Structures are given as C-alpha cells and as structure tokens.
C-alpha cells in the first residue's frame, strides 16, 4: 500500500499512481484538508500529523491492504510524511520524503528566525491561485514574473498579502503573528519527536534544493537517534525527485544521472513486499562531488573519512566590497587583527546580488539565454563592487584539487549597535576568470542565537558568537580556483528586513541603522567549517 497526500490536486499524480499499480501496489492519493476534493479549512502544516495518521490507519484496515503502508512524494508532499511518522502510526512501514523541509522555523516560512518573505508569499500565491492544477504552466509563470523587488518593499510586511495576492490571507498573517518558535509552531515541529520514529527512510535531495536543509537535519536527527536503515542520496540537483546533470551552465556529465524512480521502487519492494533485491547490500549513503563529477559512498553521513577544516576570515580592516582586502585562510589569525565594519540600513536594504529583475526595456533588449546569464553575473559583481554593507573574503588560488562534501557551517564573532539584527553568509567557487558559482548560504536572526523558542535581544557593542548553518554541498575545486565568502545583514527581497529595533519586524514600520562589526582575531576567530574529503 502506497499513500500520497498532497495540497496540489490529487489528479495530477495519476501517472505515478499507474506506475505503482502496474507493479503490484495499491496506490492511494489524497487531497490535504481544505484542498481541491477534500472538505474542511486549509491551513498549512497544522492538520497534517493527525490527518496523515488517520489516513494510514484507515488504509491499513481495508480488505485489499496487506497492512503495510509506505509513503512517497516531494516538497510539501514529503513534509506530510514526516508529520505522519512523528505520531508513529503502527502500520507505517517506510517513507521516501523527497526534497522535504525540516521544522517550519528552520526553512519556510522562517529560516532560523529570519522571515523568508519571498518564498512564503510565492508559495501562498501558488496555493491561492491553484497554480499546480493549471497544466499549461501559465499561472505559475505569471506568479514568477511579478516584480517582487518593488512589491515587497513597503512596510509593514504583514500587509503585503493584499499587494501580492489581492486580499488578506489568513495563514500568511498567522505565520507573521508567530515570529517565535512557540506553541503554534510546535504543532508542526517533528525533529524532536524523531527519537521514537524507528522506521527505514529513503532521504533524497540535491545540493541546490531550496529545502535542502531538510534532508540534512532530518537525516542527522534520525542518525543521532540510532535508527538503522537510513538511506541518503544527494546529487547536483535542485528541488526535484529526479536526477539531473545540469545546473545553469554547469554540466556534471552522464554520471550525475541515477535512476531514482527505479531505486524508490526497489526500496518499496524490499520493505513492503519483502523482496531481497540487493538494495540493502549497497552503501546507504551516496553523495556527488561536482567538478570531479564522482559519487562518493559510505554508510553514514557525513562520510567517515570527512575531516572538518576551519577557514578563517581575515583582513586589514577593509573587507568591504570586492575591492577590499578580505582574505580566507587556514592560518590562525593574530591576536591584534583589525575588525571589519559596515552600516546596515533597513531603509536601503542590502540587495541579494543574485536576485535581478529586468526592466521592460531590458526585457526587449535581452533575448538570448547566454546574454541573460552574462547580465546576471554582471549584476552580482555590480552589487558586490559597490555595496560597502557586503564584506568579501577570498582565498588564494588552490595549487591542487580540493574536495569537500557534506554539511557546511560558519561561526561569526560580531557586535552590533542594534538590539537585534541579522547575519547572512554565502560561499562561492571562483574560477580563473572570476566567474562565481554559488555553493551554499545561511542566515540567522541575532535574537535566536541561543534558542528559537526563547529570543534574547543584544547589548550594544557586546561581542557574541553566532553559529550559522550553511546547509550542504559537494565539490572538487580545480587547480587555480578560489573560495569566496560574502557577509551581510540582509539579502532583500528574498528575506524580510530586520528593522534593528528589537520589535516585530513584520508588523512595525520604524527602523534604525545598525553599526556592524565583524571580528577575526585569535580571541574571536570567525571561520567557515568545511567537510574536507582527503585525496
């Protein structure tokens, strides 16, 4: 018995249903509460644990069911599997959560406390317009073509639903009314409940998956709980359950392609039908290294041979912009290292260098994909060349290939003049021609540096340690390439601005500028932590 629960219209999954039905499975697909064919009121997250439990147990009791239920699906359709599993339905045998997020406060609608304004409003627009039921793709395209740089600029943020969706949206407003990981979100939190969820899981995601932090946190929590039979596949893909060989202009070769659909079937055949097809004799973990274009295998993640290496931020006190003196090095910093400073002004928020919206005139002029790519590269450089509220740290060129694959993180030692602020860290590969290839990024709202449940405001000028989760990646940098780190306090319009007041950033309109200081001395060694794979 295979169950799929979706908010995106159950009829859209007929092809997958026929695939499994032809292979000897009963396949049930259900619209989530309040969506399409299901009655009730739609509210994301909240009803899924109990609804999933009830559906699993009802299906298991049917005369045509073996009593063994598995689940599969991607994104929200992967999320619902974790919510159901967290209540431990007796007849749920295994799940295959593709590209599934973690607890909502760590990805969407909040990421470590920072409101994911673009992702949240875009997703609400998809839901409210029923875009996934439009097989022409026109509705989704129209949503993607909206001018978010202008639409998302007005304050307060809570009223942006009227500007983007044309009406007040109840769950958008409820998300904003709960800016702390409180009892409301606890209804949808499952990570802390996984210690008792001892089932085999096939985790699958990509290095460029916008929900990729989910595969990382969900897998690690299951591993820490001692649950066996945790399979993990991480490839050079985006938000998809299907293997791909290209991201933008980067082609990782035919070896990047795995027959994932076949592997999902083999997983179900083993756990639901008891067919010994050899899948459990294979390594449980497979991760892809871009550049060298090879798969690395093991039975745990991070791989056993991983050596975590610190790369320290350094400068002469002027790391602002790409024209500054910021460096990235493995050498311990000196005791008297100077600091880097910048001013973050919410009235002129630091733009996301990779978020560019063309004007009508540019749309007429730019026709070819290659020209658009070059324009995007030029825009990133234009932003980082000019904005003094972006710090840039670059390594020396590598003298031999350098491979790292696995979880990435960063530690910042910083102070602020504000009662609260945000920190953003991004990592890039830089080739010999200076072209950037974005690898990972992370962000953290300062008040949540210790806990997402119990925020603590800052004391002016005090140095705090901030630990940022930079998700995960796998790459071999060729000789001559360099690493580049960018540090800022906003990436607008992807994430909502911190108004620096210590108040409610999404319901208030007053803001103050923050004087930010980044430390990288022997006492306060800010660094990037890379999962290095030895030669």
Three-class secondary structure of residue 383 per DSSP: helix
Q: Is 297 left (phi over 0), alpha (psi -120 to 50) or beta?
A: beta
Higher pLDDT, 213 or 381: 213
Give CA–CA dist 347/327, Å, rounded: 29
> Quick one: CA torsion of 111, 117, 122, 124, rounded to 10 degrees?
80
Is 90 exceeded by the pLDDT of residue 322? yes
Mean pLDDT (whole number) for 350-367: 66
The tokens for 81 are 């599997």
Q: Which residue do the tokens 């050498």 mark?
A: 331
DSSP states along 40-109: S---TTTTHHHHHHHHHHHHHTSTT--S-EEEEEETHHHHHHHHHHHT--TTEEEEEEET---STTBSSS
The Cβ of residue 305 has, within 10 Å, a number of other Cβ atoms equal to 11
CATH 2.60.120.260 for the 308-532 domain, yes or no: yes
190 pLDDT exceeds 50? yes
Smallest CA-to-CA distance from 69 within 97, 96, 92, 95 is with 92
**Separation between Cα atoms, residue 39 and residue 364, nearest integer Å:** 46
**CA dist., res. 106 & res. 112, Å (int):** 5
Residue 105 has pLDDT above 50, yes or no: yes
Structure tokens at 151: 């639409």
The DSSP symbol for 146 reads S
- pLDDT confidence of residue 372: 53
Residue 378 has a pLDDT of 81
Least-confidence region, from 87-101, 360-374, 469-483: 360-374
Listed in sequence order, the residues at least 6 apart from 336 whose beta carbon sits closer than 8 Å to its beta carbon are 521
Both tokens of 66, joined, read: 């073996």
Segment 503-516, tens digit of pLDDT:
999 999 999 999 99
Q: What is the mean pLDDT of the segment spanning 19-32? A: 98
CATH 1.10.3720.10 assigned to domain 2-113+196-298? The reply is no
| 474-488 pLDDT per residue, tens | 999 999 999 999 999
Q: How much of the chain, in percent, has pLDDT values that exceed 90? A: 94
Using CA atoms, how far apart are residues 22 and 498, in angstroms rounded to an integer?
52
Provide the pLDDT for residue 366: 43
Q: What angle do CA 151, 157, 163 make, to 5 degrees?
A: 40
CA separation (Å) from 270 to 26, 62, 69, 264, 280?
Answer: 16, 22, 13, 10, 8
Q: Check whether 373 has a pLDDT greater than 90.
A: no
> What confidence category does residue 377 fall into, taking pLDDT thresholds of 50, 70 and 90?
confident
Q: If pLDDT is split at 50, 70 and 90, which confidence band does 374 have?
A: low
Q: What percent of the chain has pLDDT over 70?
A: 96
Angle at 450 between CA 444 and CA 455, to 5 degrees: 80
> DSSP characters for 152-210?
T-SS-GGGHHHHHTSS--HHHHHHHH--SS-HHHHTT--GGGGGG----EEEEEETT-T
Residue 84 CB contacts under 8 Å (≥ 6 apart), including other chains? 5, 48, 49, 52, 53, 55, 56, 71, 92
- Using alpha carbons, select from 65, 67, 27 the residue that is nearest to residue 265: 27
Per DSSP, the three-state class of 496 is: coil
User: Given this model, what pLDDT does residue 357 score?
Assistant: 72
pTM: 0.95
DSSP 8-state assignment for residue 351: B
pLDDT band at 535 (very low <50, low <70, confident <90, very high): confident
Residue partners of 98: CB distance under 8 A and separation at least 6: 72, 73, 74, 75, 77, 78, 204, 205, 240, 241
> Is it the case that residue 394 has pLDDT exceeding 80?
yes
pLDDT confidence tier of residue 361, bands split at 50, 70 and 90: very low
* pLDDT bracket for residue 283 (50, 70, 90): very high
41 within 8 A of 165, measured Cβ to Cβ: no
pLDDT of 15 higher than 80: yes
Residue 375, pLDDT score: 64
pLDDT at res. 371: 56
What value does the mean pLDDT of the chain take?
95
User: Is the model's pLDDT at 436 over the cut of 60?
Assistant: yes
Domain ranges (residues) in the chain: 2-113+196-298, 114-178, 308-532
């Amino acid at each position: 018995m295979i169950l799929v629960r979706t908010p995106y219209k159950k009829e859209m999954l007929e092809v997958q249903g026929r695939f499994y039905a032809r292979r000897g499975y009963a396949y049930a697909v259900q619209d989530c509460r309040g969506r399409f064919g299901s009655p009730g009121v739609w509210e994301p997250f909240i009803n899924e644990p109990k609804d999933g439990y009830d559906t699993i147990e009802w299906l298991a009791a049917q005369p045509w069911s073996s009593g063994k239920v598995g689940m599969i699906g991607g994104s929200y359709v992967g999320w619902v599997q974790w919510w159901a599993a967290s209540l431990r339905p007796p007849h749920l045998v295994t799940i295959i959560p593709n590209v599934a997020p973690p607890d909502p406060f760590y990805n969407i609608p909040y990421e470590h406390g920072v409101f994911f304004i673009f992702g949240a409003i875009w997703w609400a627009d998809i839901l409210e317009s029923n875009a996934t039921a439009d097989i022409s793709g026109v509705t989704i395209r129209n949503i993607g073509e909206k001018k978010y740089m202008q639409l998302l600029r007005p304050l307060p943020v809570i009223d942006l639903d009227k500007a983007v969706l044309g009406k007040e949206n109840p769950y958008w407003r409820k998300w904003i009314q709960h800016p702390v990981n409180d009892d409301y979100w606890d209804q949808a939190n499952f990570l802390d409940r996984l210690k008792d969820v001892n089932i085999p899981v096939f985790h699958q995601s990509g290095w460029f998956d916008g929900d990729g932090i989910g595969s990382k946190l969900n897998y690690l929590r299951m591993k820490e709980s001692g649950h066996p039979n945790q399979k993990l596949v991480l490839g050079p893909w985006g938000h998809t359950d299907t293997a791909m060989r290209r991201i933008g202009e980067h082609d990782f070769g035919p070896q990047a392609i795995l027959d994932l659909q076949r592997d999902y079937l083999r997983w179900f055949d083993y756990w639901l039908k008891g067919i010994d097809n050899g899948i459990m004799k294979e390594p449980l973990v497979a991760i892809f290294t871009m550049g060298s274009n090879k798969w690395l295998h093991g039975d745990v993640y991070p791989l056993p041979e991983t050596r975590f290496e610190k790369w320290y931020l350094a400068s002469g006190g002027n790391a602002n912009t790409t024209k500054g003196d910021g460096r990235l090095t493995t050498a311990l910093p000196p005791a008297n290292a100077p600091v880097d400073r910048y001013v973050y002004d919410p009235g002129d928020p630091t733009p996301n260098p990779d978020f560019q919206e063309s004007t009508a005139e540019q749309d007429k002029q730019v026709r070819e994909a290659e020209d658009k790519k070059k324009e995007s590269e030029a825009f990133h450089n234009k932003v980082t060349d000019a904005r003094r509220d972006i710090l840039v740290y670059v390594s020396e060129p590598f003298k031999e290939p350098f491979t790292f694959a696995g979880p990435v993180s960063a530690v910042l030692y910083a102070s602020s003049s504000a009662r609260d602020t945000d920190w953003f860290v991004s990592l890039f590969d830089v080739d010999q021609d200076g072209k950037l290839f974005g690898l990972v990024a992370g962000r953290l709202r300062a008040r949540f540096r210790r806990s997402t449940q119990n925020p603590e405001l800052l004391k002016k000028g005090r140095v705090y340690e901030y630990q940022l989760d930079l998700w995960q990646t796998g790459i071999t940098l060729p000789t001559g390439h360099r690493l580049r780190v960018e540090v800022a306090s906003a990436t607008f319009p992807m994430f909502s601005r911190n108004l620096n007041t210590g108040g409610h950033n999404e319901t208030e309109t007053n803001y103050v500028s923050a004087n930010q200081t980044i430390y990288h001395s022997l006492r306060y060694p800010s660094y990037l932590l890379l999962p290095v794979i030895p030669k």
